Amino acid sequence: MTKNGKVFICGAGPGDPKLITLKAMETLNNCDVVLYDRLVCKEIIDQIPDTAEKIYVGRSIGDPTTHQDNTNNLMVEQAKEGKIVLRLKGGDPFIFGRGGEEAEYLVEHNVEFEIIPGITSAVGSAAYAGIPLTHRHFASSIAIVTGHEDPEKNEPVVKWDKLAETVDTIVILMGIERLESISHNLIKAGLCKETEIAVIENGTTTKQRAIKGTLSDIIERVKRAKIKPPAIIIIGKVVSLQEKLSWFNK
């Protein structure tokens, strides 16, 4: 590794600014440049010191894949100028955040780095909605999957049929726009149409909304409520506890 700067690949948490870790805030207050994503909340961005350069590198749906190349190059360029770089991502960088790919790129270019975990929306949004992902009576296993796979893949990697057979709780990130297809695939794989499902929009924020239903009627409920990304989907018996344990929206 070089003795130049250093990159901190860091998770900012799921939305509530108080859920960012102490280590992340310490790095935020001592870095030279922050490369931040679309899902990092404004309250955290506002706390970046004036002495640090802020660079927005968020990618929206439909942006070209070369966008990630630009981010990778920026990390390397800034670090090789001797700067402390904070690569700030929503949620956790290693849960569908491309943090692993970015770390690989830094290794290839001899740039020192450190990973700072963050609370993923899969866990944070579920907790704020009152849904325990595991429960002694309902669920002993979890799968966290993406509903938005890389379009360059030749075929989908998520094995919906296997998930339906083996996992108690399924958490889907970035899947709201494919909810109809996901529900159809899970029913086709053998899940009962009355399996409970929850969709949580803007989890852990003041705009949080939780919509509950079943695999057979959730599409209509989501359309009626006009749910939009960012949102997570939770499927399984644990969803039955949502109304009983709901605390945040109260």
For the stretch 34-93, pLDDT in tens is 999 999 999 999 999 999 999 999 876 556 656 899 999 999 999 999 999 999 999 999
pLDDT 10s digits, 80-96 = 999 999 999 999 999 99
Between the alpha carbon of residue 155 and those of residues 12, 164, 230, the distances in Å are 32, 19, 25
Strand runs labelled E in the chain? 6-11, 33-36, 53-56, 84-89, 112-116, 142-146, 169-173, 196-201, 209-214, 231-235
Domain ranges of the chain: 6-116, 121-245
Which pLDDT score is estimated for 249? 83
Sign of CA dihedral 171, 19, 36, 26: negative
**CA geometry: angle at 146 spanning 156 and 238, to 5°?**
125
CATH superfamily of 6-116: Tetrapyrrole methylase, N-terminal domain (3.40.1010.10)
Residue among 144, 46, 32, 28 at smallest CA distance from 88: 28
| Per-residue pLDDT reduced to its tens digit, 86-144 | 999 999 999 999 999 999 999 999 999 999 999 999 999 999 999 999 999 999 999 99
- The pLDDT of residue 2: 44
Angle at the Cα of 204 (from 113 to 222), degrees rounded to 5?
A: 115
Per-residue pLDDT, 1: 43
Mean pLDDT for 5-22 is 98
Label residue 154 by pLDDT band (50, 70, 90).
Answer: low
Q: Do 130 and 244 contact (CB within 8 A), yes or no? A: yes
User: What does the mean pLDDT of the chain come to?
Assistant: 93
Per-residue pLDDT at 67? 83
Q: What is the pLDDT of residue 148?
A: 78
| pLDDT, average across residues 245-249 | 93
Q: For 193-226, what is each residue's pLDDT tens digit?
A: 999 999 999 999 999 999 999 999 999 999 999 9
The pTM is what? 0.92
Task: Give the chain's radius of gyration (CA, Å).
Answer: 19
pLDDT band at 152 (very low <50, low <70, confident <90, very high): low
Mean of the pLDDT values across residues 166-179? Answer: 96
CATH class of 121-245: alpha beta
Residue 165 has pLDDT above 60, yes or no: yes
pLDDT(149) > 90: no
> Is the pLDDT at 24 greater than 80, yes or no?
yes
- DSSP state for residue 125 in the 8-state scheme: H
- The end-to-end CA distance of the chain, in Å, is 51
